[in-house]
Structure 1
């Protein structure tokens, strides 16, 4: 399988079509069925107790799988999340950005399944693991 959108294509798509969140994320690498994404963590992403919020980790996983799918199928803006499960395993480092290592496990005609390991940058052990399923709109 080959990429239909490269790193520059994905960055341009994110800035153009999802400007509301584009500044929160940085696409670091893309390869067939794989993507690495950074979430820039700011005070607004922290919850009481000085840890990164669950919704921030969900956003990283969701955007990461979405972009990995687009890299493989092209710019289908209407691909949507149909399921997500997250295991929170360790407290993230509040002062560190998050990095999501995204792997597409299945890419079918109408469904895609992805897995994301989420790390605090600079740490070796993941802080969370997410599994997501996406619905891909049919060709018209």
Structure 2
């Protein structure tokens, strides 16, 4: 799938991702880079990306490599998401780098490092467990 196709799939599958303007920058079956652009919808008072926007970014970012691996037909679901906010992201865009750490028969475990565009310092770190959908 192209990054344009992945962005469209993410936005149709998670309407909040569309509202926030989340876009796929790069992806393969084990990693991805996803971007949250700055917008009034993603900001909190004080002019920095909000926690809910960063949690959405992390969750959507994890889905991207799974979509690549299945040609867009992934049916896994988030079971747990833990996030640590390390510093304010600032008022610009935020990049999320995801890595699928482990894929089992019934679960997927991944981590996401987020940073403000133009910065090397992380603003947030998330880990997540996803459950594979049971066969009908």
The TM-score normalised by the length of structure 2 is 0.87
Q: Secondary structure at the match of 1:118?
A: strand
Answering whether residue 133 of structure 2 is matched by residue 137 of structure 1, we say: yes
Instruction: Tell me, yes or no, if the aligned pair for 1:6 and 1:71 is still in contact at 8 Å.
Output: no
Extract unaligned runs of 5+ from structure 1. none
| Superposition TM-score, scaled by structure 1 size | 0.85
- In 2: Cα distance, 1:83 partner to 1:98 partner: 22
CA 9–51 in structure 1, closer or farther in 2 if over 3 Å, else same: closer
* Cα RMSD, aligned residues only: 1.9
Gaps of at least 5 residues in structure 2 are none
2:22 aligned with 1:32: no
- Aligned residues of 1:109 and 1:138 also touching (Cα < 8 A): no
- For the Cα contact (< 8 Å) 1:99–1:118, is it kept in 2? yes
Aligned residues: 135
Instruction: List structure 1 runs of 4+ shifted beyond 4 angstroms.
Output: none
Aligned residue number for residue 42 of structure 1? 39
